[in-house]
Structure 1
Amino acid sequence: MAELDFKRHRRLRRTESMRALVRETHLRKDDLIFPIFVVEGEGVKNEVASMPGVYQVSLDYLTEEMNELTRVGVRSVIVFGVPNEKDEVGSQAYHEEGIVQRSIRLIKEEVPSLTVIADTCLCQYTDHGHCGIVREGDIDNDESLQYITRTAVTQAEAGADIIAPSNMMDGFVTAIRKGLDEAGYSQIPIMSYAVKYASSFYGPFRDAAHSSPQFGDRRAYQMDPSNRLEAIREAESDVEEGADFLIVKPALAYLDIMREVKDRFNLPLVAYNVSGEYSMIKAAARNGWVNEQEIVLEKLTAMKRAGADLIVTYFAKDAAKWLDE
């Protein structure tokens, strides 16, 4: 057989040690952020029906959850609150004794080594389930900023290390930055949900956080999934307004957006591996259709390869254990 002239790419794939030697993208425990849902009451540890392995926990279980995270090597959490009381302006979101504020104080007292990120939104706290203040059937953008800023300040007062506003109101970064600075918290960074799509992948989260809109939907303020250039405009505005991190949400269906945002802006990029992405894999794994460990690590690596520096994921604890194997 005549000698053929072609490139032998397989030389670098022959053995596991060779593959590890030339691996371009690495997933680390420090990349992972674990979402936690905290509820009122005592003795509560409710598994979310649509999210197997994810729990709503009361404050008396919170330290146990945080200690488990530190044992497996996850060093960052993002806190979501589920209050007992809701009203039209979401007053429990910015109450000094709100469920998130109490949770933050407890975590920082009991497990101070953890980085605590506070989700800053009104949807879990309003009786209408929207992320801002409703006036005459519409979301009042500028009035909403006042309440969102109050929420961010009380979260910083409680000890939050990072404020993560997820409401998608225009100007939310500049309003929060001004509010934090004036309150003496200029050192607290903002992890902006800069690019948040009106996605069908959020369903299980709304089950966990009790945050479904009571009328209409969120398409008037969250982004149209068809749009790419709009994502760049949104991210650019947040960078100009003083964001310290940029989030793209959801992650898996928007890897192309993550890559474009990372290529254009020199800030840490966060992928949000959302609830629907989690629940689909859990359901498939329980039916024996996929290998859960392999598919989770593959998709988290894909997010890193697309440009993510950090990943918010409900798989954080499991992924941390698998990375030790």
Structure 2
Amino acid sequence: MTSDFSEEKRRAATWFRQLRDEIVAAFEGLEDSHAEGPLSEAAPGRFEVSETKRTSDDGSDAGGGLMSVMRGGRVFEKVGVNVSEVYGTLGEAAQKAMAARGVPGMETDPSFWASGISLVAHMQNPHCPAVHMNTRMFWTPGAWWFGGGSDLNPCIEYDEDTAHFHATQKAHLDPHGADIYPWLKDWADEYFYIPHRHRARGVGGIFMDDRNSGDWEADFALTQDIGRAFLPAFVPLIEKRRVQDWDEADKDTQLIHRGLYAEYNLVYDRGTKFGLATGHDANAVLMSLPPLAKWV
């Protein structure tokens, strides 16, 4: 293992890009295969892909990534799948936040490198659940760690869908230890909670942050399986629900629930705060917000 983690960084960034490619292909496949039910007569949606750039305070290159967004599809109303690899020096506020979290050496050397994938999907059909997924690696001269997870956000809940989503994640995480899935499930329940609404954002999932067991290979393998669990956990739910009819009351329920999602991401989400604080492309950071939402 190299002292600057150059090989580990390369492997992690490559994996996040590969996962992005698999998900984009699967989502466009859902658009193509939607042959019956609401909006099946519309044209299938396609991702628009653009590069994102980050610059340091002195104007030098500080990394970037790819922003892939599909709008107005017949299955997906708006979905973003972003990957990034950024580096440089943390600003004062971000440096203090990292130091407060106990990152070794952050008080004296605020250099960092980070890479990850971030996904949020908002669906046309109110019976289809919205979903969020991300995995990431963060490195500083004094530490490294992984984070991420995925959680389901239905506006109309189906117990069997929730059970499938969680069971699939458990099956992918169990090889890493019987205690891992329940630990990350509880963590997600705590993290994806909206204090001012006194309720969860959705029906949960898995979440971890600051994962450094001391074994980089083991932690990277766990992070990969969090990513691998996503498509088999989510896609079957969409294939089942996208054919259901909906009415205006269903759509109203969906728009109100999206308000919860927007509130959480703007007020509490750590990734949103970090992305904006470190100067990453604001459109990429805020792509998680729904295209339409409603408050009562």
Instruction: With the length of structure 1 as denominator, give the TM-score of the two structures.
Output: 0.26
Larger radius of gyration: 1
More strand by share: 2
Instruction: With the length of structure 2 as denominator, give the TM-score of the two structures.
Output: 0.28
